[in-house]
């Protein structure tokens, strides 16, 4: 009588999988290796999701929906799994809180791939609002003022917020009203593109305002 086989040691299971893959590639060629790789990818993709699928579904009864959306009725989870196997699809629980839970037949690997693709596209098209800063001095000349103004209008046109700051040096602190007028004038000339969030505020030697693009403000509301 042969002695019972002992469980593989740590790391031995990984070596067994690698050995099996190498033998499969040797016997069947590249086609077999490609099939093995696809199967491995599909299983890993499914395993890393939140849905319960296939043998994980152990409810006594489920309401089954076909791959085409047709209602297939209430049946045992075992019968639903048999139908999934027969169709070459996965059994996926899509509504676990329903009574009985609702499951659907689908190619779950394909579903997850398309979902990840949609999320990637949505993220790529999403605009992240940044805060750009424009700095001036109370004695700025008209040429520099217009340059700063054009830069701010460009930032606002891209949907970003703009912080406009006037810095006072030395005796300029005695004339903060000049800085305030400068900021209000700046905000007024950006009026077609932006709204001023708050009145000019003095903090130490800096007085600032924030301008928000009107388009971004409208979307937020």
Instruction: Inform me whether the pLDDT recorded for 11 exceeds 90.
Output: no
Within the chain, residue ranges assigned H as helices are 12-28, 30-47, 77-87, 108-125, 142-157, 176-189, 214-220
The pTM is what?
0.43
pLDDT (tens digit per residue) in 26-48? 444 444 444 444 444 444 444 44
What's the confidence (pLDDT) of residue 220? 44
Averaged pLDDT score across all residues of the chain? 77
pLDDT (tens digit per residue) in 17-27? 444 444 444 44
What's the confidence (pLDDT) of residue 16? 46
Q: How far is Cα 51 from Cα 63, in angstroms, rounded to an integer?
A: 16
pLDDT (tens digit per residue) in 153-179? 998 888 888 899 999 988 888 888 899
């Amino acid at each position: 009588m042969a002695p019972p086989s002992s469980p593989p040691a740590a790391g031995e299971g990984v070596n067994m999988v690698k050995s099996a893959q190498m033998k499969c590639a040797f016997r069947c060629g590249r086609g077999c290796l490609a099939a093995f790789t696809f199967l491995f990818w599909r299983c890993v993709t499914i395993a890393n999701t939140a849905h319960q699928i296939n043998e994980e579904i152990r409810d006594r009864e489920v309401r089954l929906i076909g791959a085409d959306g047709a209602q297939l009725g209430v049946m045992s989870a075992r019968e639903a799994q048999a139908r999934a196997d027969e169709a070459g699809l996965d059994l996926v629980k899509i509504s676990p809180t329903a009574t009985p839970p609702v499951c659907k037949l689908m190619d779950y690997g394909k579903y997850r791939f398309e979902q990840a693709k949609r999320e990637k596209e949505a993220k790529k098209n999403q605009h992240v609002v940044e805060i750009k800063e424009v700095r001036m001095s109370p004695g700025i000349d008209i040429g520099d003022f217009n340059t700063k103004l054009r830069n701010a209008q460009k930032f606002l046109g891209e949907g970003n917020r703009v912080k406009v700051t006037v810095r006072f040096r030395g005796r300029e602190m005695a004339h903060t009203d000049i800085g305030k007028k400068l900021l209000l004038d700046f905000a007024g000339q950006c009026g077609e593109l932006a709204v001023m969030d708050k009145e000019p505020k003095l903090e130490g030697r800096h007085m600032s305002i924030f301008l928000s693009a009107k388009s971004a403000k409208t979307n937020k509301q």
